[in-house]
Homo-oligomer: A and B are copies of this chain.
Amino acid sequence: MGVTASPGGGSLDGPGAGPIPPREILDKICGQGAIQIILAASDGPIRFTEMERTIEGISRRMLTLTLRNLERDGLLERRVYPTVPPKVEYQATPMALELREALITLTGWARRHSAGVAAARERYDARQAAATPT
């Protein structure tokens, strides 16, 4: 993987650091609420605080960091309006839009099977507890 810089994901790679391993890309997209962020930015420009309210559960810090990462990877475009108060808009790039369908499928699946996963988990845990002597 990258060079492991300081906390925040700022990987300082030297010039000519080859292609990114697909695994790393997927991890970035799926981790830390990036999916919701991309989807939120897929329906036109969206502001920072709008996102914060839309995504619900994400911390300010993580939102900022993930936005930066996605921008860096070319998945989001960030536009700053030097007004007072400041206004910043994010929107998905064409590259990111290609993911839209798949990401919707994924989130839909997760919502539909939320209970099923919880049930499976309880069954598994119960079985483990039963197999463990006191």
Chain A residues packing against B (C-beta within 8 Å): 11-13, 15, 17-23, 25-27, 29-33, 35-36, 57, 71-75, 95, 98-99, 101-102, 105-107, 109-111, 113-125
Contacts and interface: CB of A to CB of B under 8 A. Distances in A.
B95 A99 contact: no
A23 B11 contact: no
B30 A116 contact: no
Identical chains bound together, number: 2
A105 B101 contact: yes
12 contacts: A17-B122, A20-B118, A22-B111, A25-B114, A30-B31, A72-B124, A72-B125, A73-B120, A74-B120, A95-B113, A99-B106, A101-B105
